[in-house]
Amino acid sequence: HILYAIDHYDMRKGRIVSIDLQTMQRQLLFSHGSDGFYFGQILAATFDPLNKQIVLADYSKGVHTFNVETNRLSTISVNGSAFENYLFPTDVVVDVQNSRALAVQESENPSLVSIDLSTGNRTIISDNSGVGSGVLFRSPRRLELDTNNDRALIYDDNLYAILAVNLSTGERSVIADYRNGTGDWIQYISSLELDSNKLIGLKSLQDGGLLEINLENGNRTLMSDNTGEAVRVSGNQVLIDNINDRYLVTSSNSIVTVDRNTKVQNVLFKETVSSGPQMSWLTDISIDPSRNTGYVLDFFGKRIFEVNLLTGERKLLSGSGINLVSPIDIEIDRNNNQLLI
């Protein structure tokens, strides 16, 4: 297994790094300035398993792909000279069945855009200028793909709503907001995960929590919040841990588990709870279900932790190779038994 991570806090030092999970050796795959290429502002990244590449949403320059077999980076959807044709992506997902990436942008022309992974050609699926009908976008920021229903699920940060966009017609409809469905407000969502017929949203602020959004009626259930003294749920990312039937939430210095059924939350990973080396600021986690193991990036510590998902015990991964600078994103490449950073 290989873990891939994006090291991109400092735009002058943007890099893609891989880590072999057997030897723990780190290898620099691509760095800022290689082949005359310079990153702009990477806001999101996802893995395309079919083409064995990372798809990166660059807010300043468009959409890039990085092939993990050839170590080649390509800008497949470049911003040209005409400002109205610019793409400012804030989130990106891969539609494997149709060999395309889907991106949302909130600047200039808020829209959902399709990018052909072979040609880079862009097609507007839905926007406020006549492509698709329904509620207008305000600030579409987070994106999930619902392939079973041929739609994209989008969190709009200005509407405080979850929108559904039909991928065939571009029609936009509201699934949940303050008028549709009952329950907690939908705001400050930093991460989305589709779990069958419900959407899990993570609130990022101190008084946030984990929202379960019913996609049939728009009702919201606050699965966990920060009212307890010991467990606080707010942070960067929520992941589904299918093996243990729960959700994992990463924050700056801990990982919290929330049981899918009972909603009981527990601290899995924290200096005062589980054993292992000290940590400073956690930015991302990737799960290996076959090993019941998580791999966590420590931003300020410039380190990677391996975490036992049952006990929370952690150990520091060490190995030879390039030093990390500002690691923010991590992915597992199971085909090559390595991590990408």
- Would you state the pLDDT for residue 122? 85
> Which pLDDT value is given to residue 207?
58
**pLDDT score for 8:** 61
- Predicted confidence at residue 127, as pLDDT, reads 94
Give 120: exposed, middle or buried? Use CB within 10 Å, 0-12, 13-18, 19+: middle
Residue 216's contacts (CB-CB under 8 Å, 6 or more residues apart) are 197
Strands of 209-214's sheet in order across: 189-195, 198-203, 209-214, 220-225
CA distance to 5, 61, 93, 179, per residue, from 20 (Å): 12, 30, 25, 49
Determine the pLDDT at residue 271.
Answer: 52
**Strand ranges of the sheet holding 151-156, from the earlier edge strand across to the other edge:** 140-146, 151-156, 161-166, 172-176
What single-letter DSSP state applies at residue 225? Answer: E
Cβ neighbours for 73, distance < 8 A, ≥ 6 positions apart: 16, 30, 34, 35, 37, 64, 65, 66, 67
List, run by run, the mean pLDDT of 10-residue segments along the chain (341 residues): 65 71 75 77 83 85 86 74 60 91 86 88 91 94 94 95 97 95 88 90 71 93 62 64 84 75 76 55 82 85 85 79 83 86 89
Q: For the chain, give me the number of helices (H) and strands (E)?
A: 0, 29
Quick one: pLDDT at residue 196? 87
The 3-state secondary structure of 112-163 reads: EEEEECCCCCEEEEEECCCCCCECCCCCEEEEEEEHHHCEEEEEECCCCEEE
Question: Whose structure tokens read 């510590």?
Answer: 301
**How far apart, in Å, are the Cα atoms of 8 and each of 58, 171, 316?**
11, 35, 21
Question: What's the confidence (pLDDT) of residue 311?
Answer: 81
Determine the Cα–Cα distance for residues 319 and 316; give it in Å rounded to an integer: 10
Written as six digits, the tokens of 109 are 């022309």
Question: What pLDDT, in 10s, does the model give residues 100-146?
Answer: 999 998 877 899 999 888 888 889 999 999 899 999 999 999 999 99
Q: What is the pLDDT of residue 25?
A: 73
Residue 52 DSSP one-character state: T
pLDDT at 231: 45
Contact 60, 41 (CB under 8 A): yes
pTM of the model: 0.73
